[in-house]
Amino acid sequence: MERLQKIIATSGYCSRRKAEELILAGKVKVNGEIVRELGTKASYEDVIFVEGKSISKKEDKVYYLFNKPRGVVTTSHDNLGRKTVLDFLPEDERIYPVGRLDYDTTGVLLVTNDGELTNLLTHPKNHVEKTYIVKVEGILLKQDLEKLCKGVVIDGKKTSRAKAKIKKIDKKTNTTLLELKIYEGRNHQVKKMLEAIGYPVKKLKREKFSFLTTQGLLSGEYRTLSIKEVKKLYQEAKQESSNH
């Protein structure tokens, strides 16, 4: 017997945190009965419906590293008919993105059906490092760079410490290119951090997610992660969790 949210996540339907939300919202049935208790246990032999859909038994886990292009949304489907990241990936698999990248942000994105790993990588306490290359309007001052590193207030809450360094200053175009490493995954975080100190973002790319980069992948291309890479992601997320 396993916790119900773990079974749902293991089936590939969604992440464990999302499964918990669905249980609390009364959208999960086990053997015909609605379940709202998070501690409920079930087995893989039980008949489980989530949002009216039957979830299958354990699926083989798949892990993709995707080089997200601009103008693509990081959702499973889009009501406005825009391209989603799943339009670029195998159609016959029930997979979802790990976290989000904005519509106009490019770079490293993980896509999987492993709810356990998704939960580890996106949980705020686990401090997984994400590296961005950011082009901003204006010539970034040293004292503003220090503000980014110490944390700035966005949406009423201070961001955790970050690492930032200037890569290039272009006085002709009045822009600065910088590298920013953050350990959280708040909504539109990088853009909001830079806007908070007066530098609107013109271009944004996620260069690294933990140790993974888009090396060898053109925009819109993907590759399967190796078993070694998956183990390393689990190891790093758990290690970061124990360090904080």
Catalytic positions: 102
CA distance 2 to 85: 31
What angle, rounded to 10 degrees, do the helices at 16-24 and 115-122 form? 100
DSSP string computed for 153-166: EETTEEPPP-EEEE
**Could you give the residue ranges of the DSSP H alpha helices within the chain?**
4-10, 16-24, 115-122, 142-150, 189-196, 227-243
CA distance 223 to 214: 9
Q: Which residues, 6+ apart, have CB-to-CB distance to 25 below 8 Å? A: none
Tokens of 145: 């760079």
Radius of gyration for the alpha carbons in the chain, expressed in angstroms and rounded:
20
Nearest residue to 84 via CA among 93, 92, 74, 97? 74
SS3 call for 67: strand
Pair 108, 208: CB distance under 8 Å? yes
Segment (H or E) for 201: strand 201-209
